[in-house]
Amino acid sequence: MPASLSITDDRIFMKAASIESQKVIKSRLSTIQENTAKIASAIILTSLNNSDTVQSLLSGSLRDDFGLFGNVVQITVNNIVKYVSQNIKVRMDEYERGGTIFRISIQLLESPDLQNIIAVPLGTFPSTGGTVDWLEWLTTRGTQVVIGDYWMFQHARGRTRSGGTKIMKKLTSPQGEPFRVDPKYAGTPDENFITRAIEDVADEILNAVALEIEKVMK
């Protein structure tokens, strides 16, 4: 399971020069969290959609590798973002450091979250050869062999499920290698296309929180 993914920044440290300032922010913390979640949702969705991994899932090699079809990928990405945004936690911690200081931190992913993300609708689908757990493979298996007795045949004839030219075939000779996720896109519980997309926009999310704090202080 991945470590918690939180983002903080010293730019959001604020000296409690006024006890009233703390009271205002504490009383409006739920509003700050709600507004931040909405903004973060849009930011993370854009980051995911622009990622190389999602682009490959939509129309590249990963679409063929996993046998994806229709709008499975976009619905799954939307479901991932929905889950993350609904579970964002904004909190304020106080401590002493040359005076009372408080810090706003944003919790985006907690340790158990990846299993819930993997379970979002369409992250897995049934196939004639068995269940295709493509989201789990992509985010947890790294470059491990996923299916030991099948390989990706590159020159399929006729119509494939994904519309591409690759299909899985039974591995009966040394003509191919057992199926694993392309190393360019392979992820682990601690580091995968979801965590990368969030980390890439951490500053944007932090700025959004800072703006929400400014609004409640006016």
pLDDT along the chain (218 residues), means of 10: 47 52 82 90 94 93 85 93 89 64 76 85 82 91 71 49 51 67 92 92 87 81
- Is residue 136, in this structure, part of any structural domain at all? no
Which residues make beta-bridge pairs with 100? Answer: 96
Rg, Å, the chain Cα set: 22
Q: Which pLDDT does position 155 carry in this prediction?
A: 45
- Is residue 151, in this structure, part of any structural domain at all? no
- Amino acid identity at 189: P
Q: Which pLDDT does position 11 carry in this prediction?
A: 46
Contact yes or no for 162/69 (Cβ under 8 A):
yes
Q: Which pLDDT does position 158 carry in this prediction?
A: 47
- Is residue 191, in this structure, part of any structural domain at all? yes
Q: Which pLDDT does position 42 carry in this prediction?
A: 94
Q: Which pLDDT does position 10 carry in this prediction?
A: 47
Residue 26 sits in which domain range?
A: 5-122+186-217
Q: Tokens standing for 61?
A: 């090699």
For 175, counting Cβ atoms within 10 Å of its Cβ (0-12 exposed, 13-18 middle, 19+ buried), the class is exposed
CA 63/CA 205 separation, integer angstroms:
30
- Is residue 180, in this structure, part of any structural domain at all? no
Q: Which pLDDT does position 16 carry in this prediction?
A: 45
- Is residue 131, in this structure, part of any structural domain at all? no
Q: Which pLDDT does position 194 carry in this prediction?
A: 93
| Number of domains present in the structure of the chain | 1
Q: Which pLDDT does position 119 carry in this prediction?
A: 92
